[in-house]
Amino acid sequence: MHEIRHAFTVDVEEWYHPLRFYRDTAAVETRRLRTGLDRITALLDERGVRGTFFWVADTALAYPALVRELADAGHETGCHSFAHDRMVYDQTPEAFRDETARALAVLQDITGERVRSYRAPCFSVTGASLWALDVLAELGVTLDSSIFPVKNWRYGIPGHPRHPVPAAQGRLWEAPLAARTVGPFTFPAAGGAYFRIYPYRFTAANIRAAREPVVFYIHPWELDPEHPFVRIPWKPCATHYANLRRTEPRLRRLLADFPFAPLGEVVAARRGA
């Protein structure tokens, strides 16, 4: 039996990007990306792991050499919007197309290669914005990872398949985020705030219970516990700042316990199985 390789994905955004949905952060926006991202790449290098890095384009413009460095090291480059300041479901298809085309062009100019993978800010491809998959396909994207098959106050499509499936009339593949069902409850399984809030053993149990590749995700700011505190509504505040000091040691343990690969390779292997 072949060892299951899971998808390791990084949403490359600054610490303030997810806070933009709750207040104007312009006065406090200081770039700290390298602090957390360097820690992630060091951990990946320790294990010889490559992953998929979904870049916010305005951040890529600030760090073009770093984008190229990661691509040259064998990591997959993906798109995570232009400015991470609008949910997909709050946009018109035309506005989403324009923003995404602009973001893809930035990343492709930096890397010199076509960028074919995408992840929406805050997983905001929902039942109300499935049209986005058609737009992505029209822009040449062949792999999306924006759907969380859970019910959440900000995102989610309950009942969506948990494994990669063709979408947009077969023009792209959707690789959903990891979820698990226990009894009547379906919940996020691994990544982001859930990785910080759940006990590590629970995350590991969730991954093992899947018995197939799962999509794990992390953000650089989650490995930068010293990033500024900004007052926002209590619910997003609690999830954004919870247990930040635990992220790095937990991530080191995760990479030791499970094999990982870029999302594109994981999906391609499943398609060929």
> What is the crossing angle of helices 200-210 and 247-257, to 10°?
30
Element holding 219 (H helix, E strand):
none
pLDDT in the model for residue 241: 96
In angstroms, the Cα distances linking 10 to 23, 79, 94, 221, 230 are 24, 11, 27, 11, 23
CATH architecture of 6-272: Alpha-Beta Barrel (3.20)
What average pLDDT does range 201-219 have in this prediction?
Answer: 97
pLDDT at residue number 270: 85
Give pTM, 2 decimals.
Answer: 0.96
**CA distances to 99, 110, 167 from 147, in Å:** 19, 27, 12
* The pLDDT of residue 3: 82
Give the residue-averaged pLDDT of 40-69.
99
The confidence band for 26, taking pLDDT boundaries of 50, 70 and 90, is confident
pLDDT at 2 > cutoff 60: no
The predicted-structure confidence for 57-83, as pLDDT tens digits, reads as follows 999 999 999 999 999 999 999 999 999
The predicted-structure confidence for 156-199, as pLDDT tens digits, reads as follows 999 999 999 999 999 999 999 999 999 999 999 999 999 999 99
| 124-147 pLDDT per residue, tens | 999 999 999 999 999 999 999 999
Residue 1 has pLDDT above 70, yes or no: no
- Residue ranges of the domains in the chain? 6-272
Question: Which ranges constitute the DSSP H helices of 82-183?
Answer: 93-111, 131-138
3-state secondary structure of 120: coil
Closest CA to 86 of 47, 133, 129: 129
- What are the tens digits of pLDDT across the range 88-105? 999 999 999 999 999 999
Residue 27 pLDDT level (bands cut at 50, 70, 90) = confident
Q: How far apart are CA 5 and CA 258, in angstroms?
A: 7
Contact 9, 44 (CB under 8 A): no
